[in-house]
Amino acid sequence: MSHHVLLCRDLHPAGRALLEARADITLTTLHDPPPPQFHAALKDADAVLCWLERMDQAALDAAPKLRVCARYGVGFDSVDVPACTARGVAVMVANGSNDLSVAEHAMMLMLAIARRAVQFDARVKSGGWWPEDLGKGGKLAMADLAGRSVLVVGYGRIGTRVARLCQAFGMRVLVLDPAYTPARLAADGMVPARGLHAALAECDVVTLHCPLRPETRHLLDAAAFAAMKPGTVLVNTARGPVVDEAALADALRAGRVMGYGSDVLEVEPPPRDHPLFGLPNVILSPHLAASTEEGLARMARIAAQNILDVLDGRPDPAMMVNPGLLGA
């Protein structure tokens, strides 16, 4: 029996080789397809590997044969999971593939903001040298991470790694995640946060690693920024909508936030007149924190194997977003 697998972008050789090694797999590769092209290609697909494409009801209606929707990564906010479950479509994610890469990227952003790396680089390259206001509490002041308090929001695979890296930097680590008891967090050497606003008031650094859900959309809003300790370093490698970007822009201008380092935005790709673009204390990357050479290879291998496992009738429950299908 032949299976038609739709790739919405070219796949890293580490994963493509797994699919091409199977005589019963036929591959179709698109290149970031717009919805009409995506839906048309789903007509004969038994499996689809999505990047940022939306697997919603319209996509499912266009895919009568679909058995598995695999994500190239661990996020699945672009997938209508209840609709997939109702149709019997397994939703698979590449758990464990990108936590190392994203955690390192978060630390890079944290350090770059704290040490004004981008601003100093631009100053030197433009012919400048020692900033006149350095050491005088001016806008170019730097900060050590050691001895600071950091709030890690979300204690999953990535958040756990970031928390340990922060400990290695000599930071006091607070964790906010309702899925973990205070006793568990304390056993890991972390400080259980007493609540979002209380933790924001005492922490020098905030790093976001929570999934995007209705309760986390605009988790950091105007009220949260008002509660925040002045001069906070804010890092976001979770999802753009976790932060209210209009409120963030106001907080950056007011000095409530020292700087913002983010791999994600509310709208991706962003409009050219995005309010954060004109601010010097913002460092952005284009949603590629997981995309190191090693990370891409890990995600590709796991995503390809997830597809094969479902088509072979033995999906890995640890990779399933809707494992209830196994019982059905």
Active site residues: 239, 268, 287
Helix 13-20 and helix 293-311: axis angle, to 10°? 20
Query: Do 5 and 28 contact (CB within 8 A), yes or no?
Result: yes
Three-point CA angle 149, 282, 116, nearest 5°:
65
Query: Do 87 and 69 contact (CB within 8 A), yes or no?
Result: no
Identity of the residue numbered 262 = S
β-pair partners for 92: 70, 320
Q: What letter would DSSP give residue 55?
A: B
What is d(CA 32, CA 38) in angstroms, rounded to the nearest whole number?
A: 9
DSSP for 295-326, written as a single string: HHHHHHHHHHHHHHHHHTT---GGGBS-THHH
